[in-house]
């Protein structure tokens, strides 16, 4: 089939054209839509640019433009990886830069593959309007859930918490809302080149966003009890000082004194691994007396501390509750390279050569009983577990609120803590629950059921955030159905798009 019939760009265009550079620029604009920049509508513009760049591209050109988009998006959006490895991981400047570049290069392959599939599977403009957004989100799901235990960073829906599309989040979650954003971009691109359907497509877009605006007024969950006074502690202990043996007692005294000043709270939450020691090392002389005091004041403590299993080699990143009712949760969704090493033995060999020492933990298992505090069960997540919506909706019917403990100290004064808080806010909106988020260096926050930040502590400020939350009940539509129906629909749309285009190609020949 010749270029005239396929309406593709010729292969002999310059090595790097202005359209290629536009795709790279679109990647940068895409990241500016997320926290801390918060230019939400730039995500829509960025998708419009990259979708347009694929419109008449050959498969090879689509790969290049998708890859350039990824370099722009991840190059800025995950630049905090360098901070983690250089400032706190012990790697030198060259190694940190090299590994960060490889990290960015790896994840950039996914928008590159998206571009290739967009050209190969959506050859017909009439069906591309649905097929292209479906491919985009399915690739995001593959990246966010299945590769290296999942890397759901920079999913486009996270940028839309302040736009009308947020109204869809409690119904279809982060992937369904991402599809609606990508569909909006696809509609705009199609309308720009199709005069005959421009009015219809404009009305469709207005309806899509207008419905989202209306849906924001619906409360999917309801209050079931009196407000609870809660206190979230942010110790702001620097990562490079946290685990030094000579600082352990000072850190324990810091958290104890901050806790004792807030015994009037029903719940007090400490951040991830606030205790720089294993549970067995501090249980008798520190935690048991603290638990007895909490019981006397009618307060429940939610504390994060690493624990051992049946053997010394079996280690868990855990959260325990002390006070009226004790319990334990062990982190299940572990962080690649930070808490376990994929691609063994290669990854272990490289890290040993670089003299980078990382914790190796054991998954806690999916079916763990809910912890309780303030008289109510709650959903627990540790660190980046809050980036997975399917975890937050598991057992949600029995949970009155969410608790996330995090240590973003590994990333210093970078954009990562801001992005992570934005991700956590999505879980509150998806579930219709208050979220208590306690972090070591920031950003500690109370998030409402609408995903809005009620109050927070700035980064690198030691303090206690005190406020009130209401226990909630009720199930959002997303919590009932999860991601599978939306993903199945998108897979069907891609299949239908390809079949329709295949039939069209047979007729053209």
The tens digit of pLDDT for each residue in 244-269 reads 889 999 999 999 999 999 999 999 99
- The whole-angstrom separation of Cα 45 and Cα 62 is 18
What pLDDT shows up at residue 244?
A: 86
CB atoms within 10 A of CB 368: 16
CB atoms within 10 A of CB 355: 11
- The whole-angstrom separation of Cα 114 and Cα 109 is 9
- Domains of the chain: which residue ranges? 3-219+482-508, 222-475
DSSP secondary structure code for residue 336 in this structure = B
- The whole-angstrom separation of Cα 144 and Cα 153 is 7
Pick from 404, 419, 389, 326: nearest CA to 173: 389
Lowest mean pLDDT segment, chosen from 80-89, 130-139, 285-294, 478-487: 80-89
**The pLDDT of residue 357 is above 60:** no
**b/e string for 170-191 if b means 16 or more Cβ within 10 A?**
bbbbbbbbbbbbbbbbbbbbbb
Using N-to-C axis directions, what is the helix angle for 59-77 and 109-121, rounded to 10°? 150
Q: How confident is the model at residue 406 (pLDDT cuts 50, 70, 90)?
A: very high
- The whole-angstrom separation of Cα 446 and Cα 456 is 6
Mean pLDDT for the stretch of residues 186-202? 94
Tabulate helix, strand, coil % of the chain (nearest 5): 55, 15, 30
Q: Is 408 or 200 the better-scoring residue by pLDDT?
A: 200
468 phi/psi in degrees, rounded to 5: -125, 140
- Give the CATH H-level superfamily of domain 222-475: Carbon-nitrogen hydrolase (3.60.110.10)
Q: Is the peptide bond before 345 cis (omega within 30 degrees of 0)?
A: yes
- Let me know: does 171 contact 478? Beta carbons within 8 Å: yes
- The whole-angstrom separation of Cα 374 and Cα 301 is 9
- Let me know: does 59 contact 112? Beta carbons within 8 Å: no
What pLDDT shows up at residue 203?
A: 97
Dump pLDDT digits (tens) for 56-113. 899 999 999 999 999 999 999 999 999 988 887 778 899 889 989 999 999 999 999 9
What pLDDT shows up at residue 295?
A: 96
Lowest mean pLDDT segment, chosen from 3-12, 28-37, 353-362, 462-471: 3-12
Dump pLDDT digits (tens) for 416-428. 999 999 999 999 9
Q: Which are the contacts of 342, defined by CB distance < 8 A and separation ≥ 6?
A: 148, 149, 336
Dump pLDDT digits (tens) for 102-158. 999 999 999 999 999 999 998 777 778 999 999 999 999 999 998 888 899 999 999
- The whole-angstrom separation of Cα 26 and Cα 42 is 9
- The whole-angstrom separation of Cα 259 and Cα 441 is 17
Give the Å distances, CA to CA, from 323 to 29, 82, 210, 230, 287. Answer: 48, 40, 48, 14, 10
What pLDDT shows up at residue 358?
A: 56
Q: How confident is the model at residue 240 (pLDDT cuts 50, 70, 90)?
A: confident
What pLDDT shows up at residue 11?
A: 59
- The whole-angstrom separation of Cα 80 and Cα 76 is 9
pTM equals 0.92
**The pLDDT of residue 6 is above 70:** no
**The pLDDT of residue 271 is above 90:** yes
Dump pLDDT digits (tens) for 307-338. 998 887 789 999 999 998 899 999 998 887 67
**End-to-end Cα separation, the chain, in angstroms:** 8
Give the Å distances, CA to CA, from 228 to 292, 293, 435, 471. Answer: 21, 19, 13, 8
- The whole-angstrom separation of Cα 55 and Cα 23 is 12
Q: Which are the contacts of 12, defined by CB distance < 8 A and separation ≥ 6?
A: none
What is the CA 462 to chain-centroid distance, rounded? 25
- Let me know: does 167 contact 430? Beta carbons within 8 Å: no
pLDDT averaged over every residue in the chain: 90
Q: Which are the contacts of 401, defined by CB distance < 8 A and separation ≥ 6?
A: 376, 378, 379, 433, 434, 435, 436, 469, 471, 472
Q: How confident is the model at residue 341 (pLDDT cuts 50, 70, 90)?
A: low
**The pLDDT of residue 3 is above 50:** no
Residues identified as active-site: 272, 331, 383
CB atoms within 10 A of CB 208: 17
Mean pLDDT for the stretch of residues 233-245? 86
Q: How confident is the model at residue 347 (pLDDT cuts 50, 70, 90)?
A: low
Q: Is 13 or 226 the better-scoring residue by pLDDT?
A: 226
């Amino acid at each position: 089939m010749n270029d005239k019939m396929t309406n593709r760009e010729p292969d002999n265009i310059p090595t790097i054209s202005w359209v290629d550079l536009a795709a790279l620029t679109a990647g940068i604009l895409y990241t500016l839509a997320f926290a801390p920049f918060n230019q939400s509508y730039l995500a829509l513009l960025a998708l419009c640019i990259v979708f347009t760049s694929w419109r008449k591209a050959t498969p090879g050109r689509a790969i290049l433009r998708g890859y350039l988009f990824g370099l722009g998006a991840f190059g800025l959006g995950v630049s905090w990886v360098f901070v983690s490895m250089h400032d706190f991981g012990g790697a030198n400047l060259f190694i940190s830069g090299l590994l960060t570049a490889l990290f960015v290069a790896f994840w950039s392959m996914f928008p590159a593959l998206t571009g290739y599939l967009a050209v190969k599977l959506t050859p017909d403009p009439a069906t591309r309007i649905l097929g292209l957004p479906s491919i985009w989100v399915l690739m995001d799901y593959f990246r966010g859930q299945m590769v290296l235990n999942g890397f759901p960073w920079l999913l486009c829906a996270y940028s839309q918490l302040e736009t009308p599309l947020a109204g869809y989040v409690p119904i279809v979650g982060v992937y369904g809302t991402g599809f609606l954003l990508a569909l909006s971009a696809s509609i705009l691109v199609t309308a720009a080149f199709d005069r005959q359907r421009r009015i219809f497509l404009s009305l469709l877009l207005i309806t899509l966003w207008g419905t989202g605006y209306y849906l924001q007024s619906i409360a999917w969950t309801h209050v079931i009890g009196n407000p609870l006074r809660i206190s979230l502690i942010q110790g702001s202990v620097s990562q490079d000082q946290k685990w030094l043996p000579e600082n352990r007692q000072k850190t324990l005294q810091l958290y104890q004194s901050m806790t004792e000043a807030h015994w009037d709270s029903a719940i007090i939450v400490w951040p991830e691994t606030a205790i720089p020691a294993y549970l067995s090392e501090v249980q008798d002389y520190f935690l048991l007396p603290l638990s007895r005091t909490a019981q006397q004041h009618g307060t429940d403590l939610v504390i994060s501390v690493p624990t051992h299993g049946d053997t010394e080699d079996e280690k868990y990143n855990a959260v325990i509750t002390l006070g009226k009712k004790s319990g334990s949760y062990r982190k299940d969704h572990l962080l690649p390279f930070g808490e376990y090493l994929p691609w063994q033995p290669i990854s272990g060999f490289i890290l040993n050569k670089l003299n980078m020492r990382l914790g190796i933990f054991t998954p806690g298992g999916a079916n763990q009983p809910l912890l309780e505090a303030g008289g109510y069960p709650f959903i627990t997540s540790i660190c980046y577990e809050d980036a997975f919506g399917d975890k937050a909706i598991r057992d949600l019917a029995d949970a009155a609120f969410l608790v996330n403990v995090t240590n973003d100290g590994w990333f210093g004064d970078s954009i990562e803590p801001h992005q992570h808080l934005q991700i956590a806010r999505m879980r509150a909106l998806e579930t219709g629950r208050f979220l208590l988020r306690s972090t070591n260096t920031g950003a500690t926050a109370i998030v409402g059921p609408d995903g809005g930040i009620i109050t927070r502590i700035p980064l690198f400020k030691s303090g206690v955030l005190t406020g009130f939350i209401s226990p909630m009940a009720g199930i959002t539509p997303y919590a009932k159905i999860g991601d599978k129906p939306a993903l199945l629909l998108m897979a069907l749309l891609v299949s239908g798009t390809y079949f329709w285009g295949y039939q069209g190609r047979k007729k053209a020949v």
